[in-house]
Chains A and B, each alone.
Chain A
Amino acid sequence: MLTPSYVAQQVINALNIGSIYALVAIGLTVVYGILRLINFAHGDMMTVGAYVALAALTALAMPAVAALLIAMLVVSALGIVIERLAYRPLRGAPEVAMLITSLAISSLIQNGATMTLTAQPRPVRLPAELTQRISALGLSFAVMDVIIIALAIALMVALTLFVQRTTLGIAMRACSENVRVTQLMGIDVNRVIAVAFAISAGLAAAAGVLWTGKFGIVDPFTGFLPGLKAFVAAVIGGIGNIPGAMLGGYLLGFAEVFFVAFMPPEVSGYRDAFVFVLLLIVLLVRPSGLLGAREVNRA
């Protein structure tokens, strides 16, 4: 059972799931870092992204790459609209008001999708070149598996460069330390926050497209569970910290896949419970997450 190729197969699997969790977790962490908002509607951005891509792929017969880009663009725009209409009016209100608002938005999207698109899961038929399997070194994997990992890593590299190098990226990091003082630098923080929401939602859309590409199905609640898991990943890594979200995403992917792969079948059904136990353990040992150590600020 525990042949090298079986283990390698599981590693590929874990990298797949972990990549997706990481993408979703980054979006949560970016927004949390600036607004201290735990965005419960974040997983639903995955769902919307998946539906948009599906529509582009089938109704508009677009190539897969175009469908992905359209999904990211549409959902980024949706993220900006939601921030403008739902969260900006609550700026300065207690944080719990924004949190409840995000629950409302999540509920709105899930129920809106159920009403208009029905709760019936829709099969996603990928173009043949994506489902093709490659066999090499005794391993067998779909082209899609490689694409998921490569695309996720490319997006994370791009985001890291953006946040580290560009003025807007510096402004985002400054906002996550102190929004008030960032204004005093002549920075329009509303613009920075809008960009953060656009990035957050766009990454979630990409993750949603990859997720449905992998599992071949989409319904109005597709994003719910991975959204919740990504929250766990972000907290494990240290919420507000982008590298932490990446680390947390991959850790969670590995923990989950290995739990199912190497535990007896009787317990593997407890996968999701195991994830949350893992969260509790990490938080007991490191309450601010793995990379979320409070920085020392000498005054």
Chain B
Amino acid sequence: MLSVQNLHVYYGRIHALKGISLEVNAGEIVALIGSNGAGKTTTLATLSGLLRPREGHIYFEGRDLTRLPAHQIVRLGVVHCPEGRQVFARLTVTENLRLAAAHRTDRKNVARDLEYVHQLFPILAERRNQHAGTLSGGEQQMLAIGRAIMSRPRLLLLDEPSLGLAPMVVETIFRVIGSLRQHGVTILLVEQNAYRALQLADRAYVMETGYIKASGLSQVLADDPAVKAAYLGG
């Protein structure tokens, strides 16, 4: 479904991604793990068109996304739910959700997706007219995921959805990620919580300083002594 080939990305003179290649198949959850600064967030930002690679290609269902503007990539079904939630604080919950569906023409499905979001996160229905800036961190993360759902993703790029959240909220979020897969959404997940990520994902890539260090089935990686030592706390 997604095929990334030899991606090189620079921030000015800093060589942030040094030839990343990865594959995501339809229906999979694939995790991208690694320490801070390894290039996980940069990888997602490049896939969604926020950053331009200097070299390499990104193919989504055979289509070259490498030079497409970000909003068109969303319209093809590659939806990026960014790190740090990034909800629009001065828009209401409903406005945030409505904006994410603004490019869609299938009005009926939009209404159904909104119901689905409210069903996944009842608190968002309760707070629909509140400004997103007044929500708690966990509620903002729910809104960020709800917003991504409203864009009708076929491939969801999910960046650090559990960062800084209370354990109970983390449970909810991971449950929703599982349920999204049931609904046919393919997911590329970036997580600092490598343990949880490997539990949920089918496969994983391990990144380090701009390279892919290791890849494979999640269970295999979880038992790999080197991965264990570096990312799973021994």
Residue A100 interfacial (CB < 8 Å): no
The chain A residue sitting closest to B135, CB to CB, is A298
Residue B38 interfacial (CB < 8 Å): no
- B103: chain A residues at CB < 8 Å are 185-187
* Most interface-central of B50, B102, B147 (chain A CB within 10 A): B102
- Partner of B50 from A173, A183, A186, A299 at Cβ < 8 Å: A183
Contact B88 A177 (CB under 8 A): yes
* Most interface-central of B71, B80, B95, B164 (chain A CB within 10 A): B71
- Partner of B136 from A188, A296, A298 at Cβ < 8 Å: A298
Residue B49 interfacial (CB < 8 Å): yes
- A120: chain B residues at CB < 8 Å are none
Contact B89 A185 (CB under 8 A): no
Residue A189 interfacial (CB < 8 Å): yes
Q: How far apart sit A170 and B93, CA to CA, in the bound complex (Å)? A: 12
- B151: chain A residues at CB < 8 Å are 185-186
- B164: chain A residues at CB < 8 Å are 299
Contact A183 B49 (CB under 8 A): yes
Known: A183-B70, A184-B70, A189-B71. A295 touches B99 (CB 8 A): no
* Most interface-central of A173, A180, A185 (chain B CB within 10 A): A185
Contact A298 B134 (CB under 8 A): yes
- A185: chain B residues at CB < 8 Å are 71, 74, 99-100, 102-103, 147, 151
The chain A residue sitting closest to B103, CB to CB, is A186
Residue B178 interfacial (CB < 8 Å): no
Contact B84 A167 (CB under 8 A): no
A180-201 vs B: 1/0 string, CB under 8 Å?
Answer: 1111111111000000000000
The chain B residue sitting closest to A167, CB to CB, is B102
* Most interface-central of A181, A189, A297 (chain B CB within 10 A): A181
Contact B99 A298 (CB under 8 A): no
The chain A residue sitting closest to B136, CB to CB, is A298
Residue B137 interfacial (CB < 8 Å): yes
Residue A58 interfacial (CB < 8 Å): no
CB distance from A87 to the nearest CB of B (A): 18
Residue A171 interfacial (CB < 8 Å): yes
Contact B102 A187 (CB under 8 A): yes
B45-88 vs A: 1/0 string, CB under 8 Å?
Answer: 00011100000000000000000011100110001101011101
Interface residues on B, range: 35 or more
- B86: chain A residues at CB < 8 Å are 178, 181, 184
- B133: chain A residues at CB < 8 Å are 295-298
Contact A186 B71 (CB under 8 A): yes
Contact A171 B99 (CB under 8 A): yes
Residue A174 interfacial (CB < 8 Å): yes
- Partner of A295 from B69, B85, B90, B136 at Cβ < 8 Å: B90
- B48: chain A residues at CB < 8 Å are 184
Q: How far apart sit A181 and B70, CA to CA, in the bound complex (Å)? A: 10
CB distance from B215 to the nearest CB of A (A): 26
Q: How far apart sit A174 and B95, CA to CA, in the bound complex (Å)? A: 9
CB distance from B9 to the nearest CB of A (A): 16
- B22: chain A residues at CB < 8 Å are none
CB distance from A161 to the nearest CB of B (A): 14
- B90: chain A residues at CB < 8 Å are 173, 177, 295
Q: When A and B form their complex, which 8 residue pairs have the shortest distance between CB atoms, in order from nearest?
A: A186-B74, A186-B103, A183-B70, A297-B89, A167-B102, A185-B100, A181-B86, A188-B71
Identify the A interface with B (CB < 8 A). Answer: 167, 170-171, 173-174, 177-178, 180-189, 295-299
A-B contact pairs, 30 of them (CB 8 A): A167-B99, A170-B98, A171-B99, A171-B102, A173-B88, A174-B88, A177-B89, A177-B90, A181-B86, A181-B88, A183-B49, A183-B69, A183-B71, A184-B48, A185-B74, A185-B103, A186-B102, A186-B151, A187-B71, A187-B102, A188-B71, A189-B71, A295-B90, A295-B131, A295-B133, A298-B133, A298-B134, A298-B137, A299-B85, A299-B137
